[in-house]
Amino acid sequence: MSEHVGQTKGPEPGPAIGRGWPVASVAVIAAVAIVAGAVRAAEQNSNTESTTSPAAVAAPGQLAQMPSFADLAEHVKPTVVSVYVSAEQMGDASVLGEQGQGENVIPPGSPFEFFFRQFGQPGLKAPPRIIQAQGSGFFISPDGYILTNYHVVDHAKSVNVKTIDGQSYPARVIGTDAKTDLAVLKVDGKAGFPSVTFAETVPRIGDWVLAVGNPFGLGGTVTAGIVSAQGRDIGSGPYDDFLQIDAPVNKGNSGGPTFNLRGQVVGVNTAIFSPSGGSVGIAFDIPADTAKAVAAQLEAKGAVTRGWMGVAVQNVTQDVADSVNLKQATGALVDQVQPGGPAAKSGLKAGDVILSIDGKVIADARDLARTVAAQDPGKSIALRIWQSGKEQTLRLTVAALPTEPTPPAQPSRQSQPNLGLWLAPAGEVEGAGAEGVVVVSIDPQGTAAEKGIQAGDVILEVGGKSVSTPRDVTTDLEAAQKNGQRAVLLRIKTATETHFVAVPIGRG
């Protein structure tokens, strides 16, 4: 994962299938095929006594009262709207549903594209057309501002919202943020809409929650569950920090709110993990603090400004920590420093480990990306880093994340038996550039292969020292072994990025 330097290691931000997930998709949950005719649900009166929270555990010998969310549902449902979109379908039939009806509009290369390709015909081109899409949203202010998902309104030609009482209003898109999959809409010419409040505290795992939305066009649907997990990374981008809930969430719930028992929004429904395309009880929500902050910027200026320091980073594994003599496997290891960026001006170098920012401990690369993005451009921050075997403190002035960041310089692409490598100077291999040593062949059972090194990769540094010949690699590895190191850090250049790999010493 990288803090934005112009390219992100991994898929673009937004709900997506993540690395390591089974073939089953982490699916966008905006339902976009409009079923002919209207589905209307008849409300039934009930004399059952209701409470706004589940009953306490019954004493031995007593019958437990079944939980009821009726009062809570009645209170929050008026704040939720169904969102109906006329959108332009891109000219690719592979994003059509099984029945040939349009799903959501998915830009080429989007992380959402994987899901739709599982149910379509890859590579089959179709002319652009207008399709009808639908999702959910909710009022965040009485004067008509609505929060929903970016993927619900992406490529929208027109947007209408329908309230719980059946009233329909045209809405315009005020601003969108693809990186967090959020968008703000506005209903003009009317005020006094019931609106939500955002929770100020993060819900605990096991807390009851209520999801409200428009699944499959069935507006005003309420489902209940609990918070299953926090801090989920589903591979959609550097800002992943999703709540996982088990309330049934389906296509069309996208952009709808999830409430706690106080009627406060704790998250925005965004994605589901689904082998079948329907709910299996694993849904992902954008946390309330992120949604509130992004919504405020979109409402004020139609876009989101993020802090940027100009580095690419990766997680610190135990092998990496051993390689740089760091006691704990924590922080973010700097792979690359953007020339002329804030990090370069501060003295930060490739191979440094960022441990904290203004006293806030940095757990990993994702934590760094979120922390830096939240900083105001122009702010001076203190970085505590691990550099050349000791702690140091640098000051850095945060810049604004470029709208289209300049990508870092792209790296290009006879025996080291301990690692299972056959090497050659880069200058002797066409297209490999002039620096480093090229991996021309690799033992698939060797240590290097276990660590993900591939033929065509270029070794730039061994233990912080630049290398230019295979002999340099061997010499530096032997020196590290004599010094008692358990692992050595290699700086590797691939066809797309530069990163560090920690390899244990003395294994064949």
HSE, side-chain direction, 13 A CA sphere, residue 293: 14
Catalytic residue among 254, 274, 323, 356: 254
- Which has the closest alpha carbon to 85: 14, 171, 147? 171
- Report the C-alpha gap between 336 and 313 in whole angstroms: 7
Whether residue 370 contacts residue 13, with contact meaning beta carbons closer than 8 Å, is answered with: no
- Grouping H, G, I as helix, E, B as strand and the rest as coil, residue 217 is helix
146: left (phi over 0), alpha (psi -120 to 50) or beta: beta
Give me 425's structure tokens: 């100077």
Catalytic residue among 177, 181, 233, 285: 181
Distance between CA atoms of residues 193 and 144, nearest Å: 6
Annotated catalytic residue 181:
yes
Does the annotation count 254 as an active-site position?
yes
Please, are residues 79 and 196 in contact by the beta-carbon 8 Å criterion?
A: yes
Tokens representing 88 are: 């332009």
Catalytic one among 82, 92, 151, 457?
151
| Chain centroid, CA 501 distance in Å | 24
Query: Is the distance from CB of 31 to CB of 284 less than 8 angstroms?
Result: no
Residue 104 · residue 181 · CB < 8 Å? no
The yes-or-no answer on residue 75 being catalytic is no
Residues 6+ apart with CB under 8 A from 213: 80, 82, 135, 136, 219, 221, 249, 252, 253, 254, 255, 256, 257, 269
Active site residues: 151, 181, 254
